[in-house]
Amino acid sequence: MSNAQPLNNYVAGTWTPSSHGEQRPVHDPATAEVIATVTLTPAEEVARAVEAAHEAQRAWRDTPVVERTQPLFRFKALLEEHIEEIGRIIVRESGKTLPEAVGELRRGIENVEVACGAPMLMQGVNNEDIARGIDEHMFRQPLGVVAAITPFNFPGMIPLWFLPYAVATGNAFLLKPSERVPLTSQRMFELLEQAGFPKGVVSLVHGGKETVDAILDHPKVRAVSFVGSTPIAKYVYARATANGKRAQCQGGAKNPAVILPDADMDMGTRIMADSAFGCAGQRCLATSVAITVGEAHDAFVDRISEDAATRVVGSGLEDGVQMGPVISDVSKERVEGLIEKGASEGGRVLVDGRGRGVDGFANGYFVHPTVIDGVAPGSTLATTEVFGPVLSVMHADTLEQAIAMVNDRAFGNQACLFTRSGAAARAFRHEVRAGNVGINLGVAAPMAFFPFSGWNDSFFGDLHAQGRHGVEFYTETKVVIERWPAAWSRTF
Ligand code: NAD
């Protein structure tokens, strides 16, 4: 594929160039090299895609669910067959390491597997004789055309939080991936085509804000799933719901982890380092604030600083590399600016990841792991999503104080605790205002059969992604109440 040739959309089962629209380069974050060009699809072309999807959905909704899941089974097999190849595409465009890329695909494939259970997952309920001779049934029916708008940091996994459930339940599905990482979706849609979905049931439309707005305003799009930063999640939620659509919008995060003095410090530090620095800190479940309690402070800070200083940073395609670059030059500058801000607001920079570069990758967007101790509650670093490999350390005297610090933030994606005490774990999981809780875990990512349960400013909506929530989000309930008087029966 030529870098200059813009990527095609997949509309009505055909790979279609966007006839006009602004074009953007796609960069390899490890080298800054341009690896593709993406078109920001304008509104009228989005409308064509939605109309084609709407047309296709009429026949798809009448296709028995056991037949609708067959292309998903084939898609799952194709993803398995191509997992490393797609993993390499993820590395090229997002910068993460190959094991991280393959790992995210594995989590995505789990969603395809779960959605293949749609024949049971979308079953309704019924009661015979709700009154004499009257029966009541509740069915689940698809909505129509549904869309997902996804972020840069999990180009393989996040579209799969939505697509399998949407199509298995009888909807036509349209994806607008991040314009910064369009190549992974491009390849996954080639596999979807190969899996044999009828034309128009799955569509891919590249683009940015205008493309998103066209989706949010189109009357035939019935539901919108969004994952990205909090300001855009709020905007998408407001505009989609004002237009009468269902919306589930996952936003940003600022995830705390509390370390009690009784924690297994070696294990806890290793897990925390993977959480804070894995995927270069660009995970919505990355721990970005460590809250040490009592005597835990010194032991934790020594170990985590050692890990941060020795973590192998480089190109995600090279063996032994533990952490890749951040997504862009803008992101690198923003993360480095936040480290500076943390220092100017009184934090002690114990390990400084700025300005260290990587041999052989002079143009890459690298920020090395950074640890800042003594970050004050309420300061910029304590409250702002960094989305880079920066761990802030705060301190509390008691578990109660630590829980209050955990709850003193706008986001609610994840909170973790490291301890050997069951009573402390129970108090923590009961009290914290976060939807994904880890006990002696650093990335509490729910399996595909559990909802991805962000709270507060990390989620706008009611039903979350994945599992039964996904099935409920993409279906509406229809209740049928029936009376068939015996007098009308033929006598057999
Ligand atoms: P982003 O908000 O910049 O972009 C997300 C999507 O919104 C992209 O498809 C983009 O094209 C679109 N978009 C961007 N600006 C827009 C605008 N003004 N109007 C309409 N659409 C617009 O997010 P990102 O930088 O790609 O991803 C990182 C963010 O995503 C972080 O905040 C991270 O925490 C969050 N995230 C959250 C979860 C979660 O489950 N809560 C998971 C992954 C990432």
Looking at the fold, whether 359 and 296 belong to one and the same domain comes out as yes
Q: Which residues are catalytic?
A: 284
Indicate if the pLDDT at residue 21 is higher than 90: no
Whose Cα sits closest to atom 6 in ligand 1? Answer: 151
269 and 418 share a domain? Answer: yes
- Nearest to 139, CA basis, from 477, 487, 483: 477
Does residue 271 line the site of ligand 1, with CB under 6 A? no
Same structural domain, 265 and 128: no
pLDDT higher than 70, residue 492: no
Q: Do 85 and 207 belong together in one domain?
A: yes
Q: Please indicate, yes or no, whether residues 166 and 239 belong to a single structural domain of this protein.
A: yes
Residue 50 shares a structural domain with residue 136: yes
Q: Which amino acid is at 16?
A: T
Q: What is the pLDDT of residues 296-325, one digit of tens each?
A: 999 999 999 999 999 999 999 999 999 999
Among residues 333, 341, 350, 415, which one has the least CA distance to residue 384?
A: 341
Q: What is the pLDDT of residues 215-252, one digit of tens each?
A: 999 999 999 999 999 999 999 999 999 999 999 999 99
Both structure tokens of 467 = 């599992």
User: Any idea what the CATH number is for the domain that residue 119 is in?
Assistant: 3.40.605.10
Residues 240 and 267 in one domain: no
Structure confidence at residue 357 (pLDDT): 93
Shared domain check, 211 and 283 = no
The response to whether residue 208 sits with its C-beta less than 6 Å from ligand 1 reads yes
Confidence of residue 5 (pLDDT cuts 50, 70, 90): confident
- On whether residue 1 sits in a domain, the answer given is no
Ligand 1 centroid–CA 411 distance in Å is: 15
pLDDT in the model for residue 486: 86
| Residue 488 placed within a domain | no
Among the listed residues 284, 283, 282, 303, the one whose alpha carbon sits nearest the alpha carbon of residue 292: 303
Q: Is the dihedral of CA 218, 224, 229, 233 positive or negative?
A: positive
Residue closest by Cα to atom 16 of ligand 1: 209
CATH number at residue 396: 3.40.309.10
Report which residue type is found at 341: K
Indicate whether 486 belongs to any domain: no
Q: How far apart are CA 365 and CA 164, in angstroms?
A: 34
Question: Which of 124, 93, 108, 96 lies closest to 24, judged by CA?
Answer: 93
> What kind and span of H or E run contains 476?
strand 475-483
Is the pLDDT assigned to residue 443 strictly greater than 80?
Answer: yes
Mean pLDDT of the chain: 97
- Count how many residues are written for the chain: 492
Q: Which domain holds residue 198?
A: 9-251+458-479
Q: Quick check: 67 pLDDT over 50? A: yes
**pLDDT reported for residue 167:** 98
Residues 173, 277, single domain; the answer is no
Contacts 24+ apart (CB under 8 A), 73-80: 73/116, 74/194, 74/195, 74/196, 75/112, 75/164, 75/191, 75/192, 75/195, 76/109, 76/112, 76/113, 76/116, 78/191, 78/194, 78/195, 79/105, 79/108, 79/109, 79/112, 79/188, 79/191, 80/109
Buried b (16+ CB within 10 A) or exposed e, 182-192: bbbbbbbbebb
Give the closest residue (by CA) to ligand 1 atom 26: 151
pLDDT tens per residue across span 256-274: 999 999 999 999 999 999 9
pLDDT of residue 246: 98
Alpha carbon distance 466, 446 (integer Å): 9
- Does residue 223 sit in the same domain as residue 286? no
Query: What's the pLDDT at 43?
Result: 96
Mark whether 181 and 276 lie in a shared domain.
no
Pocket flag, ligand 1, residue 171 (CB < 6 Å): no
Asked whether 98 lines ligand 1 (CB < 6 A), one says no
Decide if 397 is inside a domain. yes
Question: What pLDDT is stored for residue 91 in this prediction?
Answer: 98
In this structure, is residue 470 part of a structural domain? yes
Do the bridges between strand 134-142 and strand 202-204 make them parallel or antiparallel, or are there none, so unpaired? unpaired
* Dist. CA 155 → ligand 1 center (Å): 12
Q: DSSP of 439-470, one letter per residue? A: ES-S--PPPTTS-B--EETTEESSS-BSHHHH
Copy the structure tokens of residue 436.
């994904």
- What percent of the chain is modeled with pLDDT above 90? 96
Nearest protein Cα to ligand 1, atom 15: 209
Tally of domains within the chain? 2
Q: Is position 487 within any domain?
A: no
228 close to ligand 1 (CB < 6 Angstrom) = yes
- Cα of 230 from ligand 1 centre, angstroms: 8
Q: What is the pLDDT of residue 1?
A: 46
Atom of ligand 1 nearest to the CA of 152: 26
What average pLDDT does the segment 120-130 reach?
97
Nearest protein Cα to ligand 1, atom 33: 252
**Same domain flag for 46 and 165:** yes
- Report the SS3 class of residue 12: coil
Q: What is the mean pLDDT of residues 390-415?
A: 97
- Report the atom number in ligand 1 closest to the C-alpha of 387: 31
Q: Residue 170's beta-bridge partner residues?
A: none
With respect to residue 220, please indicate whether it lies within any of the assigned structural domains.
yes
Report the atom number in ligand 1 closest to the C-alpha of 252.
Answer: 34
State whether the beta carbon of 57 lies less than 6 angstroms from ligand 1.
no
What pLDDT, in 10s, does the model give residues 342-375? 999 999 999 999 999 999 999 999 999 999 999 9
pLDDT above 70 (res 489): yes
Q: Is the CB of 284 under 6 A from ligand 1?
A: yes
Q: What is the pLDDT of residue 4?
A: 66
Radius of gyration of the chain (CA): 24
Domain assignment of residue 421, yes or no: yes
